[in-house]
A and B are shown apart, each in its own frame.
Chain A
Amino acid sequence: MNDIAQARAPAAIGAEGFLARYAGLRARLPGDETRRDAAAESFRARGLPTRRDEAWKYTDLRPVAALAFHEPLLATDTDFKLPPAPGARLVFVDGRFREDASRLPDGAAFTPFARAPRFDALARPEAHPLVALNTMLAEDGAVLTVPDGVDAGLVELVSIGAGGTRHPAAFHPRHAIRLGRGAQMTLLETLIGEGVYLHNPVMSVMVAEGAALAHVRLQNESQAAFHLATVYAGIAEGGTYDGFTLNLGARLCRTEIHTRLHGPGGAAHLNAAQVLRGVQHGDVTTVVAHDAPNCASRQTVKNVLDGRARGVFQGRIEVAQAAQKTDGYQMNQALLLSPDAEVDSKPELRIFADDVKCSHGATVGALDPDQLFYLRTRGVPEIEARAMLVRAFLDEALTLVSHPAARAALDGALSAWWEQETA
């Protein structure tokens, strides 16, 4: 790219269609119109991110900009099947809460965003075009609050993209998860669907003093879908945000997680795995802001890429001057199963404190022929041997998911993936 192109103000792409939808829907959308109007102005000015934005260098949203998305139909007869819920389950179809398919949690207070439409300060439209788009068009979402000292156990948040309409649908759920002091919860997000759609959720997470949220995301959207998720988590003193994302589905996916450790002794785990093939594009982008001393952040991100798939990892660790004794660790590894697969890895450390321990590393490799041969000499057929080695590669990340039901959900999805891979 030459200097002149770089200097030119980026043209807003993909804004018009969404702004037109907003003009039509504005009066019907819940909540504060001035907040939505401001978000719309912000989105009008910037449009969808483009590869000229440094943060979007490796992920191209032109395929999203090229489609005309409509709001989903009010389909009450959508046919979907879910396995029986082990506990609390909140089901959203095309971004709308479906009480009939849900089982409300005992330990946490739940309200659909449509009935309590409040935009909090964590996710700011002016800071992020996708948050602007979400704020402008958000219709529903999960507002979940765990009171002080309560362990809410496992809560499932299921999103289903119903597809099957004449126009591809776009939905922009707005979720807010709040854990009171010393509260605990495992939030298992399962994201599935059929056909072409855009799922653009924004979630804000507040972890109060001594609270712990395990947030496991199983992104298994339709292979034709676009998934652009943005999560903001604020972690108070002694709190833990223990995040894990598995990106398995979607034609194009970006999981962007921003965490801010604003109290001493907090912990942020942003672990992930991406298992992609065909022409899938998966992007895990993280920002960990260490604002307070004695906090730890951990990231183990594994990519398994087949076909012409492309995996992106961008991880930024920011350590403020006050954040002494920060312990930051980041590891990104890729296993390429095909010569046409590609991985891009961009670690970034911005450190303003002098007494910190921060490390990062990245590796790329293929399956080890010695390991394959060893397994085969023991009688394990090649396909099975490859599957074992891929699982072993992912294992280091998957073992970080401690809740058995959440782990089982991830294992099940990976097994199904492998069955398709070898079919």
Chain B
Amino acid sequence: MLRIENLTASIADKPILKGIDLEVPQGEVHAIMGPNGSGKSTLSYVLAGREDYEVTGGSATFDGRELLGMEPEERAALGVFLAFQYPVELPGVGNANFLRTALNAQRRARGEAELDAVQFLKMARAELKRLAMPDDMLKRNVNVGFSGGEKKRNEVLQMAILRPRLAILDETDSGLDIDALKIVAEGVNALRGPDFSALVITHYQRLLEHIVPDRVHVLAGGRIVRSGGPELAHELEARGYADMAAEAA
């Protein structure tokens, strides 16, 4: 499980996270909702190991192992996956090569056997079929010329192939129409199970209609100001963040 304790972080000496406490037990999906500038993306980047953010205090452990201080690739091998709000384009890097390199790097780090090209393609095609995505997704360069929806679906494909144990979805719903949103949600739901946890970060409640969380946390001003069940998302939608943030202050 993911346990975050009194986590503080800054970017360019400006404090963004001001003491986050959060637990996501194994097998649960938690949502983090909050207004713009509340620190949602910072939290996801800090957990994934982005260097631009300075962790100034606290801890974040996954299955008892301290994540902070690990290289991003070590976190990935441990099973942590960040689905990007803005997936990065990699011109000149084919999607199949990218996915196989990533999968084999993780397997190598875990002491598992690598997949050869044939084994990998068989597995990747099966996942594509399951996600109702076209085969040419593998042939294209990573995210290059992809629409916003295709980029997010590619994140889901990566998740399906890499099989993380903790997925952090950073505003995966932004820029998606309702059909794309459903496909993404179905992809995430398909991974749900006793060995999969997720932190779904979103500004809007609508994604949570499709990925129903076990718990909802409200992030405002760099702190978790409220936690509750899925009904909290509906309350937020009705009342707005300003009200809730003021109440918590």
Contact = CB atoms under 8 A, between A and B. Distances in A.
Interface of A: 368-371, 373-382, 384-385, 388-389, 391-396
Contacts of B76: 376-379
A378 B162 contact: yes
A392 B93 contact: yes
A378 B101 CA distance: 9
Contacts of B162: 378-379
Contacts of A371: 88, 90
A379 B90 contact: no
Contacts of A394: 92
Contacts of B241: none
A374 B87 contact: yes
B150 interface: no
Interface in B96-116: 98, 101-103, 105-106, 109
A373 B72 CA distance: 8
Interface in B67-84: 71-73, 75-77, 81-82, 84
B71 A382 contact: yes
29 contacts: A369-B51, A370-B88, A371-B90, A373-B50, A373-B51, A374-B90, A375-B102, A376-B49, A376-B72, A377-B73, A377-B82, A378-B76, A378-B98, A378-B106, A378-B162, A379-B77, A379-B105, A379-B162, A380-B102, A381-B73, A382-B73, A384-B105, A385-B73, A388-B90, A388-B93, A388-B101, A389-B93, A392-B92, A396-B91
Contacts of B158: 378
Contacts of B105: 378-381, 384
B48 interface: yes
B80 to A, nearest CB: 8
Contacts of B90: 371, 374-375, 388-389, 392
A2 to B, nearest CB: 46
Please list the 10 inter-chain residue pairs (A to B) with the smallest Cβ-Cβ separation, ordered nearest first.
Answer: A392-B92, A379-B76, A378-B102, A379-B106, A395-B92, A376-B72, A374-B88, A379-B105, A392-B93, A376-B73
Given A393-B92, A395-B92, A396-B92, A377 B101 contact: no
A286 B76 CA distance: 46
A129 B180 CA distance: 65
Nearest to B104: A379
Given A392-B93, A393-B92, A380 B73 contact: yes
Tell which of B51, B71, B77, B101 has the most Cβ of chain A within 10 Å: B101
Interface in B139-176: 158, 162
A379 B73 contact: yes
A377 B93 contact: no
Contacts of A377: 48-49, 72-73, 75-76, 81-82
Nearest to B87: A374
Contacts of B106: 378-379
Contacts of B82: 377
A315 B246 CA distance: 64
A393 to B, nearest CB: 6
B88 to A, nearest CB: 4
B92 A391 contact: yes
B101 A384 contact: yes
A380 B98 CA distance: 9
B13 to A, nearest CB: 19
Nearest to B75: A377
B49 A392 contact: no
Given A378-B81, A378-B162, A389-B90, 8 more contacts: A373-B51, A373-B88, A377-B72, A377-B76, A378-B105, A382-B71, A382-B73, A393-B92
Contacts of A376: 49, 71-73, 76
A52 B202 CA distance: 63
A379 B109 contact: yes
A391 B141 CA distance: 13
A379 B88 contact: no
A381 B109 CA distance: 10
Nearest to B143: A374
A379 B114 CA distance: 13
Nearest to A385: B73
A381 B82 CA distance: 16
Contacts of B109: 379
A397 to B, nearest CB: 10
Nearest to A378: B102
Tell which of A381, A389, A391 has the most Cβ of chain B within 10 Å: A381
A368 B90 CA distance: 10
Contacts of A395: 92
B79 to A, nearest CB: 10
Tell which of A376, A377, A395 has the most Cβ of chain B within 10 Å: A377
Interface in B39-81: 48-51, 71-73, 75-77, 81
A315 to B, nearest CB: 22
Contacts of A375: 90, 98, 102
A275 to B, nearest CB: 15
Nearest to B76: A379
Contacts of B51: 369, 373
A280 B235 CA distance: 65
Contacts of B75: 377
Nearest to B86: A370
Nearest to A373: B50
